[in-house]
Structure formats: structure tokens, C-alpha cells
Chain A
């Protein structure tokens, strides 16, 4: 079977990023998955067995201090080294802030081409075909690479399932310490750690918009989210008004989500917001204005006041649970 390289991103504490599961699952559906990582110190036994449990049959680690101090390019070097050593059929990376920049540089360095933001992958006649969801899910587009290596970024949360567990062979090389890269001067963790599910991967998302009126009132969105075990999202209007941090923004310029259930509270549903959520299985909308465009895509719409409907909903759900 052909080798499929997957770029494993590490947190600055050296932990394997959450994107590794989906990438290795996608790689296992195409060939033999090998995890590639740039790391300041050799991977811990824990990290190695974790990658094995996620399906890596091999690990190619490039070790050097610059993996912690130089942005992106150590991972490009690690991947380019693994491409030369293992002649893979494809390289997969997460469509994350880091992943796509690394994938892009790699595609140029190794003379490959890039397929961006794939939501699924399959093999057709020996070729890898990527499916993309374009314009907020208005179109399905399929693409492939001709004439060189396929470098593919994969939308986070799009690939479900797990690769079969393996016991990885570990190859260790040293980073060269050269190459153009920006310096990482400091790492500032996000201040909030939440017990709620991550927005991209959540099965249910509850989002709030301008209709919530204030940061204090936005708590209502969080209360419903917690009642449903959901992630919290927001429209750009709510983010711009300072109700929630920008990381919660769903839409054209924020995160795209495709949950089983999406509940929009006080969101009018501008086309830019719909582009980030209209691929949800079921959409529920509650808004005062019955003419809001959000109702055009809602499976269940309620014209009403979120401050009376939502507490009643939480109460009713609680009563059923009892």
C-alpha cells in the first residue's frame, strides 16, 4: 500500500493536537499512515503510543531546538525530508492556521500541488480525489492533483472515525537549523479553558447574535449550550459588539460548522453568517423579526423573544430529563 504522510501538530507543551485523529483516519482510508512531526525534543513514550493508538504505522520525527522558536518552516523541513525518504502518494495536513501555511510551502518546495480544505477523500483509479464544500456548502467540488505530489489540507472536524491502532516504527532525524522562518518570541495561551466541546467538532452548536443585546444577556446562549452539551458560537455582529471573543465567530470570516443541530438565537442570518452554518443537519432559529433571512434556512423557526422562549425551552428539556 502507498504511504500517506500526515503532519502532526504539537502544542507548545508537546502534546499531540486534536487534528491528528482525523488526519490519521483519512490517511488510513487511502494507504499506510505515517505521522510526521517537528519537535524540539524527541517525542515522549506517551506521545508515541498515542499516535500509534490513532493509527500511525510509522513516525518520522525531525528534532531540533528551532521547532519551538521558528514558525512553520521546521515542519516544512520535516515533511520535505519525509517526502524524500518515503516517496508518499500524498501529504495530509489540517486546514489550521499553522497546517495550511506549512502545506503551502511544502507544495512549492517539493514541486507538488495543493488541494485546500477537503471535507472528504477517496481513491479513484489510483488517484486521490478530494471533495470540497464551496461557498458555505452551496456547491460540492471534487479535485485531484496531476503531475506531482498531492498536498492536501483537511477541514478540521470533517473526517469522522478512527484508523485501526498500530505500533509505530520511529525514525528520528535532526533539523538543519537553517531556512527562512519567522521567530516565535512568546506563546500566549488563550485565557479561557472551557469544558464545552470545541466549536468545529461539536455535534450541537448554540449561537447568539445582536438580538441578545449585551454581554450580560449573552449568558442565555451559554445556558442553553450547557443544557444541550453544545458549543457556543456567535454571529459577527455579536463578536463586533464585544459579547463574545472572536474565536466563537461562525460564518464567512469565522469558523464553518456542520453540526447535527444548530440553534441560532437573535441572529438575523446575513448571507455571511449562513455561509458558515447552512450545512448543519437541522437548523433551529429564534428571532423577533419574522422577516429575518435566517428563517429561510431554518427547519424549525420561532418568531418570538429569545428571553421568554429559551428559558421555557431549558425548563421543558429539564422536565423531560427528570
Chain B
């Protein structure tokens, strides 16, 4: 089985994240950029299939600036076999529709049996790109799985909905997204880090992929930082704090 895993480099959620004051785009220089945690879980799903069946081939696909190659190397050190990096300056600030068109074109070249992605990134939080990719490729989307079983030419699992869960399945090929309730990702071991350097990464441009720009696009028209919250009153409990808090809530008509 050939598995493609979509990965995205994002700012570490443990750092302060900012937008570039000029463009309103993500500021990539503000802190550490890492493989999104949810993508590492998606990769873990693929690696567990490979643990059971060594003939499994895992290709990671990322679109992003030069630095995104680090995210691909991380995935290779965890155990993926090869990488595809869509690198093109014209993609800076691309919206979800354009991103999905580009990823879908790259995926056509990869020809995977199943495409695994996280359900939403921690930076944009849109949660829409995998569904768009599925539409481009004419594939079923088996989204938001908290439990996943990949075998016998089929994917099945538990989908986490708003009011409960659904048991869902699809015959492969399909696009699958996982939630953070799936297994935590493994750490790269020493051997993995060494061999990652020798694994192939294919860098491609928009022209290489022959993908047309979608006619419609989302455009940023304004952006502004909200004033940071200011810390208010802080008291040390001297045995009356509960009563003082009740007074505060009542005075401010909050109860």
C-alpha cells in the first residue's frame, strides 16, 4: 500500500504567534516553526501500517517556503520513505482553494492508495483543505477520525461529530483526516535521523505540476492586532476570597 501524508509547517503553539503587519499573513520568523502536531499523528497512522507490513510506502507532501524542507526531514527521520516539497514563491499567501488545487496536482503524481491528513492545522484552523483535495481527486473523504483502521483495501473508523460519533468506512482510494485523539506520534530514533539524510525529496514548482490558478480566491482586506488583555485585580486568599468574588460578580451583573 502507498500512503501519502500531508504535512504543514506551523509556528509552535507554545510561542507567541503573530501576523506580519504589512501583509497580514502568518509571520514565520516570530518563533520556532515545527511540523504541526496533528500531522505527526497522521504520519503515526501511516507508520503503524508500515510496522505491520514492511512493503508499505509512505510519501510525505508539504507545500511551503524553503524552511518547510526541515518539516519533511523530520517526517523522514520518523520513518517516512520519501518526500515531495512544493516550493514556489508565487504560493505565498495562497488561500485554501489554491492550496488544495496545488496539493491535488502533486498527489496525482504520487498516486497513493490513501491520503492521510490532520483534521485541522493549529495555525489556520480552517479544516477545509483535505475535503477540497478529495473533491479535486473525486475521492471519498473519511474525515475527523478518532479511531482508524487501514487494511484490506478499506479504511474504517470512528468519526467524532458534534453530537456523538459515527462509524464510517470507505473503499480505497480515499482521503482520511485524523483528530488529536489518535495515537501520539513516535520520536525519531538515532538510525532514523541518520537515514533521513539519504532519503529522496523531490522539490517541484507550480509550473512543474501544471496547475492552473483557480478563478475565485479569498482576499485579505484588513487585519489588526486586538489590544492585549490587561491583568486586573489579583488577591491572595485570606479566607474571604470566595465572598469577595461573589461581591465582584454581583456588582458587575455577571450572575
Contact = CB atoms under 8 A, between A and B. Distances in A.
B136 A108 contact: yes
Interface in A140-183: 140-149, 153, 180-183
B250 interface: yes
B214 A185 contact: no
Nearest to A316: B246
A302 B237 contact: yes
26 contacts: A95-B127, A98-B161, A104-B131, A105-B141, A108-B101, A108-B132, A113-B216, A141-B19, A142-B221, A180-B138, A180-B140, A182-B143, A186-B167, A188-B167, A204-B254, A271-B16, A272-B13, A282-B254, A284-B248, A300-B233, A302-B244, A303-B235, A309-B245, A316-B243, A316-B245, A317-B250
Contact of A182 (B97, B174, B223, B228): B174
A140 B24 CA distance: 10
A297 B232 CA distance: 8
Contacts of A313: 242-243, 245-246
Contacts of A271: 13-16
Given A184-B168, A188-B166, A299-B232, A104 B255 contact: no
Contacts of A186: 166-167
A103 B218 contact: no
B135 A187 contact: no
Interface stretch (A20-28, A43-51, A130-138, A207-215): A130-138
Contacts of B80: none
Interface of B is mostly: mixed
B207 interface: no
Contacts of A138: 17-18, 225-226, 228
A116 B236 contact: no
Contact of B166 (A71, A108, A141, A181): A71
Interface of A: 11, 17, 71-73, 76, 95-98, 100-105, 107-109, 111-117, 129, 134-135, 137-149, 153, 180-190, 204, 228, 246, 252-253, 260-261, 270-272, 275, 278, 282-284, 286, 290, 295-305, 308-317, 320
Contacts of A135: 17-19, 123
Contacts of B126: 100, 114, 116-117
Nearest to B233: A300
Given A114-B96, A144-B219, 9 more contacts: A97-B144, A101-B141, A271-B13, A286-B245, A296-B231, A301-B235, A304-B241, A312-B240, A313-B245
B56 interface: no
Contacts of A129: 221
Nearest to B155: A182
B134 interface: yes
Contacts of A95: 127
Given A114-B128, A304-B241, A320 B223 contact: no
Given A97-B160, A113-B217, A142 B16 contact: no
A142 B215 contact: no
B143 A295 contact: no
A188 B95 CA distance: 35
B202 interface: no
Nearest to A246: B181
Interface in B129-155: 129-132, 134-136, 138-144
